[in-house]
Amino acid sequence: MSIVSITRIVRFNAAHRVYNPALSDAENQRLFGKCNNPNWHGHNYTLEVTVEGAVEPRTGFVVNLADIKAIVEREIVDVVDHKNLNLDVPFMSGTIPSTENLVLACWRILAPAVAPARLAKLKLWETENQYVEYDGR
């Protein structure tokens, strides 16, 4: 059976402060530098959502990408866009809002939400020079 992957891209912007409240101010500054700015800073994020599966003979699709778009917008974009990841986003509560932790949170939400489509990979860009990837391992 031929497995094909298909990717939908969404964009959002959000503010955060990357710091660990359990550490001292000096240690946070040493670890996180500018990202530790107490008065926040923002990023324009890009999230690439890849699902995979066999092509359905009836539709010629792996999955209806309009369904995936609607799920990602409802579960992720509507929750984080124009929000503060530290203060406003329930699924990031109590978590250092690094790109790594954000992609893990997105996976935990999207993997069951896109079923029966199989989530294959998430790629989350924080800047045009930096991204993280996660495939569920």
Q: Shortest Cβ distance from residue 18 to Ni ion (Å)? A: 6
Give residue 60's region: left, alpha or beta (phi > 0; psi -120 to 50). left
List 35, 55, 77, 111, residue binding Ni ion (CB under 5 A): 35
132 touches Ni ion (CB under 5 A): no
Residues in CB range of 33: below 8 A, 6 or more apart = none
Check the CA dihedral 10-49-41-88 and report its sign. positive
Site for Ni ion contains 55 (CB under 5 A) = no
Shortest approach of Ni ion to residue 111 CB, angstroms? 25
CB of 17 to Ni ion, least distance (A): 8
Which residues in this chain contact Ni ion in the complex, by CB under 5 A? 35
